[in-house]
Amino acid sequence: MADEIKALRISNEAMHDPAELRRRMADEGYLFFKRLQNPDKMRELRREMMTTIQRVGWLVAGTDPLDGIADISRQCTEGDREYSAGYSEVYKLQAFHRSAHWPEVTDMVEKIVGRPIMPHPQKIARIWFPKYTEHTTPTHQDFVHFQGNFETYTCWAPVGDCPIELGGLAVIPGSHKVNRVLEHHFALGAGGLIVDTEAEPEIDPVWHSTDYAMGDTLIFPALTIHKALPNYTEDKLRLSLDNRYQAVGDAIAEHMLEPHGPSALRWEEVYTNWSGDDLQYYWRQFDNPVVPRDMSYAEKGFAEALELARAGNEQALYRLRRTIKSDPDSPGAQKARAVLAEMGVA
């Protein structure tokens, strides 16, 4: 795997040169910094998040939470009801939400954007089990999921060291220059949508990644093509932050003002045990036009899953069964049941 991937360009020497940062972002579609975030702060966040993850049963009991030793028997991912039950506990952590507001992150994004910025209220943690590679986040552009505007920036950081085999993020440099949303199709993994780079003549699918260390940070705009690498470790859980930022005054999609979907929480539930209120509903002080969520991307992917399932595609059948299990009364579940009934399978 590592031989097929080129190294990310490190931009630490340009950290105090906003013009150069913007030039590199415009040219390559990403910026990568070694230890942009304080490793000691990140380690404390890891301890708190992993302790919660162990409490919900996803780490082996009796092990040090910092080691992240996964209980393989509890494998689950976004879209599974079991995942929502555990993820919601992590999502309530005040320290997790506050980490997206650390000044080393917000100051850097503001240099890149060149305008005052706002962290999206919808913070995201990614929790990935080993030996579950078919659910790895597929190749995609973030805009199909988060929308709003093309100048929304993703800030990805591992909460702990993340070598290639643990499954960090990889990007295709310059892929944002297509300046449009590419065709996405059904896939398993977070978001459930994939871009076929081989079918896109404008894209040279040369992937760049690295052995990430605690505090390393990758920042890129909404059109940059990226994916997660598979977690090939024997027993390590991969934990990362996956947050978004935009300029104040730019459009934001309505669903980005709500807690991340897999948590199945409302804000009042998230805030229940917080010690302060400075970050509660903070986005209401900013004047960002709110636009409706465009469901066409997700609807197209699910329609493809229905057709693929009819043809016997195992991943599509898995998706239909998951939809029925996780949200049995939804219109999608009704369609999934109808297709399975047509095929005479459960």
56, 105: one domain: yes
pLDDT given at position 273: 95
Domain boundary among 274, 291, 308: 291
Note whether 327 and 197 are same-domain residues. Answer: no
Pairing of β 252-253 and β 290-291: parallel
- Say which residue the tokens 């630490």 belong to: 12
b/e code 239-249 from CB counts within 10 Å (16+ = b): bbbbbbbbbee
Residue ending a domain, among 256, 272, 291, is 291
Q: Do 118 and 140 belong together in one domain?
A: yes
Give residue-wise pLDDT tens across range 169-187: 999 999 999 999 999 999 9
Write out the chain's pLDDT in tens, 346 residues: 445 899 999 999 999 999 999 999 999 999 999 999 999 999 999 999 999 999 999 999 999 999 999 999 999 999 999 999 999 999 999 999 999 999 999 999 999 999 999 999 999 999 999 999 999 999 999 999 999 999 999 999 999 999 999 999 999 999 999 999 999 999 998 899 999 999 999 999 999 999 999 999 999 999 999 999 999 999 999 999 999 999 999 999 999 999 999 999 999 999 999 998 999 999 999 999 999 999 999 999 999 999 999 999 999 999 999 999 999 999 999 999 999 999 988 7
Number of H helices, E strands in the chain: 10, 14
What is the residue whose two structure tokens read 């104040």?
248
Report the SS3 class of residue 199.
helix
Look up the pTM and report it: 0.97
- pLDDT at position 4 is 86
Residue 118 has a pLDDT of 98
Spatial CA neighbour of 37 closest among 5, 6, 7, 15 = 15
Cβ(327)–Cβ(333) under 8 Å? yes
State whether 266 and 337 are in the same domain: no
> Could you tell me the CA-to-CA distances from 50 to 96, 230, 231, 330 in Å, in that order?
11, 20, 17, 32
Token pair 């509890």 in the structure block, residue:
74
Residue type, 257: L
Q: Is 128 helix (H, G, I), strand (E, B) or coil?
A: strand
Same structural domain for residues 154 and 185? yes
How many structural domains comprise the chain? Answer: 2
Return the residue matching tokens 């028997």.
73
Domain, as residue range, for 78: 2-291
| Whether residue 314 sits in one domain with residue 179 | no
**Same domain as 268, residue 322:** no
**Cβ-contact 227, 169 below 8 angstroms:** yes
Q: In this structure, is the dihedral angle defined by the CA atoms of residues 191, 246, 230 and 197, taken in order, positive or negative?
A: positive
Whole-angstrom Cα distance, residue 28 to residue 21? 10
Same structural domain for residues 108 and 33? yes
Residues 175 and 141 in one domain: yes
Tell me which long-range contacts 81-87 makes (C-beta under 8 A, separation of at least 24). Answer: 81/325, 81/326, 83/127, 83/262, 84/262, 84/263, 84/264, 84/326, 85/56, 86/53, 86/56, 86/57, 86/58, 86/127, 87/125, 87/127, 87/262, 87/263
Residue pLDDT, tens place only, 113-155: 999 999 999 999 999 999 999 999 999 999 999 999 999 999 9
pLDDT score of 3: 53
Tell me the two tokens of residue 1. Answer: 């795997």
CATH assignment of the domain containing 171:
2.60.120.620
What are the residues facing 241 on neighbouring strands?
125, 157
Helix (H, G, I), strand (E, B) or coil at 35: coil
Residues 315 and 187 both lie in one domain:
no
Shared domain check, 73 and 31: yes
Strand partners for 227: 170
Alpha carbon of 11 to those of 165, 272, 346: distances in Å? 23, 39, 52
Q: How far is CA 200 from CA 68, 143, 230, in A?
A: 38, 17, 23
Check residue 1 and give its pLDDT. 41
Q: Domain boundary residue among 291, 315, 338?
A: 291
Do 301 and 277 belong together in one domain? no
Ordered alpha helix ranges (H), 114-179: 143-146
What angle is formed at CA 213 by the lines to CA 212 and CA 218, rounded to 5 degrees? Answer: 50
